Chains A and B, each alone.
Chain A
């Protein structure tokens, strides 16, 4: 397997052989303009063969840098300044660059974050797997091709022979990630480093990939270093976990140890930030960790987490606390771990709910009736004379109603039409047909034809604040625009209002003059929310506003949205693929599949059985950061079919795990009422579904449902 020429240069230290990866006291230093900067300090990672070790942390914690240091693939200005890295006894730091190339791809392989970008678009899939086998296993062209196909079938790729002859753009994200995994296991490596491998995928696909990773490891005796920001994913597939913060391990232990005892305030902070699928804004409030991750050149002298810690005492700020072993395998860097051990609620982020009483349903604000949005597909010369062009039915007859001071959550996989629906309501896409009625007035489809009054009433917060804020305008100018354009305020009034808006979104006043690039992702999104609020909208459409942010920042923004709604009575249309976030914020939830509603109801009801089989699959797929919650493994096959070619009958029948027969393929399913406020669209009757589905969530309010 190894090139014999380089193998002679590898020293094998038998004593250390028990670890697959043994990285001790690793410190990574970057040379910057201001001098050397240690971004990873004194981190020890030891993985035994066959284990999946989860490395969690927010962006800027150094997860990826640590992984790159281990494989010695740091950028030119970074180097591993102290520590040792051994792989199965081989000292990687003693190898030359050329010898490292024989380790990469053979003993250590990597699965990268964005599978679409990590595969060469101009090379056949099969060739890209085969080249690894040719270089490292010395196989002939034919053998390597056969190996590629064998690996593709190992990762349960449907029709591996034909996939091998395709290009990256012809495969879905989930399939591409399988290709990367197939490449990673092709040489039977000792260590696979997976860097956020499912972050770019839908929950349903993510669940399938996670199952696959877990099953493959039973077969291959490989260790996995699994890097992620998602605590739920860690809880689902890892054996052990290390929590990384500003380049240091805060807590390390088995999943049970870390998720249950949580012996570091940062771990508690992270877990308190994550919205829970079983609780909404009426039950709990998310606890965002106060403050920011310090910059690597401005680290505190004592505990790196001290400035943000609730339990901080003067001794914490004197010197860096070392990792102490509490239990076998379980280590924490918190001096005050005994306090944490005795008080499960200390620094745990249990905050009282922000919304206390159940509100009456407010008056109707928006009613969108039978919205359709068809995109024509431009194709070939024939489109010149053919009348019946193919269309993509992105939104195909959806109706929603929104009330005052009310949040409608919309969930569904990517490509289901969530965003298109929102853009139709906002007027950014012209609907093909249907009616949009806002406070009794029928709106024109296009935003260009809408009155200023209407523009004021509907505002939008986009997913990517980098793209939605003008990079040339200071934050205050972006927020002032709607005040000037839509509300005709005088210069002085505008200034006062901007100041108030910044205060409302918890941004300091001196941020008004900052340019977007001087703000963090979360701060930019706050500016975007302030801008949307500037017009005092009746309806705010939030299209995945928190998806690109870290969990603790997400929590703060969700709290902000809840507070603003409480004080202003704005209605939100909240779109997200994160079911827990939707559950947390929403009063009402709509589940969309392939451009059509399949379930709608109040937030408490929708996620409790009986529910649509699609909702059931989504719920069973989401990774939950609680090892005690056991989910049914209901997995969807493949990905969402093309909206150009919608399946007959029930659109979900091609992937439905509960398909009952031909009726699903032939007839459109009827709407069935579970309760007054909860309906789904399926051929299976309510009582039958109730008896089939378990669900791990219970309805909170006793006596109002009677489920389970």
Chain B
């Protein structure tokens, strides 16, 4: 296992290296010149040329890349071109916001999705299965801006249970942020729930067909033991992978939901940066998202391996 993790870490390093090259190259090809963005439309050519020299933009691309990557690794992510503030604290604050929202969403949709999936599997082809499958399919298909707005209309404006706007203070703690997290988390969960429920359903149906479940029944074990120890222990393995892969999406891909609620997450920061052509911000944000995807995938595989003795202990 240790060897396996080491191997995966090497691959993650390679992934990040390639990603950094791609991100750096793309930002170079974006229209517009950094110096002109900083100095504005009316700056003189000399001023721009001076600034380019100062920023090292006239050097060869690979030197610039090494310079940037070196600084990035050391923790110097540069200053935002628009706000002139250091990028790292900005990204980190957004990262922690995104993590709070992701955590909240996972807390809602993972247990619920598993329970619904298991019920659907146990009542296969009967009405609870059709109901669960139908509803979860509808939720997956519903765009987030529609479900988000509907939730705001009913739960925030109609019933006034939760605030309609989630633009929290960047440094609020989890408890302070909690009321603002619930609506966006529910919105995200509607999508995630369907995936988890369907994955759990098909995994459980597969396992229920196995001889060892029949054997466990015929050992005379109580039904709940057959379900938990013999069925779910095996059938939730694919679900674990889906959950962990979802982390990447939750952290970086919630642009629509964050926009609907005005939530200051990483996704919205990235959109903001791209709109303003704020290169250091784009680079740092993208790198973080790639890293999160890579590590959550690794976490998924390690968790899968730990839960699956066929991988954990060799022959």
Residues of chain A whose beta carbon lies under 8 Å from any beta carbon of chain B: 71, 73, 100-106, 109-110, 112-114, 117-123, 131-132, 135-136, 166-167, 169-170, 180, 183, 380-382
Contact = CB atoms under 8 A, between A and B. Distances in A.
Given A120-B234, A122-B233, A105 B219 contact: yes
Listed residue (B10, B210, B221, B313) with the most chain A CB atoms within 10 angstroms of its CB: B221
Contacts, number: 89
A117 B210 contact: yes
B219 A120 contact: no
Given A121-B310, A169-B309, A183-B219, 11 more contacts: A73-B217, A103-B220, A104-B217, A110-B215, A118-B215, A120-B212, A120-B216, A121-B212, A123-B233, A131-B229, A132-B219
A633 B299 CA distance: 53
Nearest to B210: A117
B309 A131 contact: no
Interface in B283-315: 307-310, 313, 315
5 contacts: A105-B218, A119-B212, A135-B220, A381-B3, A382-B3
Contact of A167 (B210, B211, B307, B310): B310
B127 interface: no
Contact of A120 (B6, B222, B230, B315): B230
Interface in B208-257: 210-212, 214-223, 225, 229-230, 233-234
A167 B220 contact: no
A117 B223 CA distance: 20
A170 B313 contact: yes
Given A123-B233, A170-B315, A380-B7, A117 B225 contact: no
A122 B234 contact: yes
A382 B7 CA distance: 9
- For the complex of A and B, the 4 pairs showing the least CB-CB separation, nearest first, are A105-B220, A104-B220, A105-B219, A117-B211
Contacts of A381: 3, 6-7, 10
Listed residue (A122, A180, A381) with the most chain B CB atoms within 10 angstroms of its CB: A122
B208 to A, nearest CB: 12
Contacts of A169: 309-310, 315
Contact of B220 (A101, A118, A121): A101
B4 interface: yes
A104 B212 contact: no
Nearest to A116: B211
B234 A121 contact: yes
A114 B214 CA distance: 12
A106 B218 contact: no
Interface string B1-42: 001101100100000000000000000000000000000000
Nearest to A129: B219
A380 B3 CA distance: 6
Contacts of A106: 220
A122 B211 contact: no
Nearest to A382: B3
Contacts of A122: 233-234, 307-309
Interface string B143-187: 000000000000000000000000000000000000000000000
Contact of B230 (A117, A123, A166, A380): A123
A183 B216 CA distance: 11
Contacts of A119: 212, 215
A673 B178 CA distance: 86
Contacts of B313: 166-167, 170
A112 B220 contact: no
Contacts of B212: 117-121
Contacts of B222: 101, 135
Contacts of B214: 73, 112, 118
A101 B222 CA distance: 7
A138 to B, nearest CB: 13
A73 B217 CA distance: 9
B137 to A, nearest CB: 26
Contacts of B217: 73, 104
B150 to A, nearest CB: 40
B206 to A, nearest CB: 13
Contacts of A135: 219-222, 225
B229 A123 contact: yes
B211 A102 contact: no
Contacts of B309: 121-122, 167, 169
Nearest to B233: A122
Contacts of B210: 117
Contact of A136 (B4, B10, B218, B220): B220
A121 B315 CA distance: 13
B77 to A, nearest CB: 31
A169 B312 CA distance: 11
Contacts of A112: 211, 214-215
A167 B315 CA distance: 9
Contacts of B230: 120, 123
Listed residue (A109, A166, A381) with the most chain B CB atoms within 10 angstroms of its CB: A381
Listed residue (B10, B212, B218, B309) with the most chain A CB atoms within 10 angstroms of its CB: B218
B313 to A, nearest CB: 6
Contacts of B308: 121-122
A103 B221 CA distance: 10
Contacts of A167: 309-310, 313
B6 A105 contact: no
A105 B219 CA distance: 4
A110 B215 CA distance: 8
A118 B216 CA distance: 8
Given A112-B211, A112-B215, A131 B221 contact: yes
